[in-house]
Amino acid sequence: MIRKSRKDSAKSRNAIMFAAWEGVGKAGYLAAEFLIKAMDARPAAEIDSSEYIYPSGIIIENNVIKQMIFPESIFYSAEYQGKNFIIFPGKFQFPITKEMPASSNPAYQYACKILDAAESLGCREIFTAGGIFTMIHHSMDSGTAWGSNDPFKMTELNMTLSGEYGLKDILHPKTAFITGMNGILPYAASDRELTASVLLGEVPIYLQSLPSPYPKASKSILKSFAAATGITFDYQEIDAMIKDSDREIETLMSNFKSSLPPKERRSIFKGIELLKKKPDFKNLDKVFEDIMENRDVQDNEGLSEICENRSPLSDKSEELTQEDVKQAIVDIESFFRQENDK
């Protein structure tokens, strides 16, 4: 069932929807929260998601279980700089799977329910957003990767976003795998000939277990979304979040550095610093793939195995090998994961 607010739904004719879920660096979800506040968006509709997603908890009264609680699925609408927008901050992310969703899959059915509501609000185009792990150093500004279910839209995005907003040296395979609803929603939109695009902000690969959001990736998404839709924002609030995030990361890195023997400390931090220069290792993309393939996204067993079986890092004074870089990334990721588990 779709419940709409009559007052706000009328504003959303010919609207552009921005949908995001928690995921890598919480990049997309943080961007959605920013948009709701920046656009002064108001609730416009809500869908009943209990058929498709897991409950988030239960209500108990007088020691008796009364009902289950499900994550909210609320659509917000706004008129901003002469254009109509819908923002959907998804609060439930389906488990990661490498299989394309079939029509009977709950994730696909949930996506269709979202699209039904979006179209009832006058949506004509969709953007989803999330984070993407790359070989970037945390001191650098994040770039954005993008994709679309419409070749013409992809050409438009290439022309609009390449350069200042785009990733020039993205080290992922040409055939990328977008997890969760950020990929499923555009796929479902294709079945009803609705244009949908994906914006992915860069997150350093060694920050996979960072306990807090990565706002640099969120800002890259917002800048790309603004450029693609012809609007502007004041980024002062998210810039303040970036400063706080930078301080937190530097503190964690300093703690990690102080926990290492001097010899290993030099090698590991040389490896991470090398990412600032975007090294021209022929197989650095293979290094990235090796790390991701050996990292179990549910329990990190694969990454733990790498950490346990790694060989000592090179202690060369000038040059490091790509194996050194990989091991440095793995060690830092392992440390962050342990900090997150405390």
Answer whether residue 67 shows pLDDT above 90.
no
Token pair in block for residue 209: 């277990």
Phi, psi angles (nearest 5°) of residue 41 = -75, 145
| Average pLDDT, integer, range 14-22 | 93
What DSSP line would sit under 92-158, residue for residue? Answer: --PPP-SSPPPTTSHHHHHHHHHHHHHHHTTEEEEEEEEEEEES--TTSPP-EEEEES-HHHHHHHH
- Cα atoms found within 13 Å of the Cα of residue 97, Cβ hemisphere only: 13
Across the chain, mean pLDDT equals 75
**Alpha helix ranges (H) inside the chain:** 6-9, 27-38, 106-120, 151-161, 181-190, 215-229, 236-258, 262-273, 284-293, 301-309, 322-341
CB within 8 Å of 297: residues ≥ 6 apart: 96
Q: How confident is the model at residue 99 (pLDDT cuts 50, 70, 90)?
A: low
Residue 257 corresponds to which tokens in the numbers above?
């550095």
pLDDT in tens, 175-227: 556 768 888 899 889 888 899 999 999 898 888 877 789 999 999 999 999 99
Q: Would you give the end-to-end CA distance of the chain in angstroms?
A: 41
CB-based burial label for 255 (10 Å; 0-12, 13-18, 19+): exposed
Going from the N-terminus, what domains does the chain have, and what CATH number goes with each? 2-239 (3.40.50.10900), 259-341 (no CATH)
Q: Is 148 exposed, middle or buried (0-12, 13-18, 19+ CB in 10 A)?
A: buried
pTM above 0.85, yes or no: no
Exposed/middle/buried for 189, CB within 10 Å: 0-12, 13-18, 19+?
Answer: buried
pLDDT digits (tens, 9 = 90+) for 225-260: 999 999 999 999 999 999 999 999 888 888 877 777
- Has residue 324 got a pLDDT over 50? yes
State yes or no: pLDDT of 95 exceeds 70.
Answer: no
Q: pLDDT tens across 100-157, in order?
A: 445 667 788 888 999 999 999 999 999 999 998 887 888 889 988 888 889 899 888 8
Q: Output the six-digit token pair for 281.
A: 């290792």
Token couple for 28? 């997309």
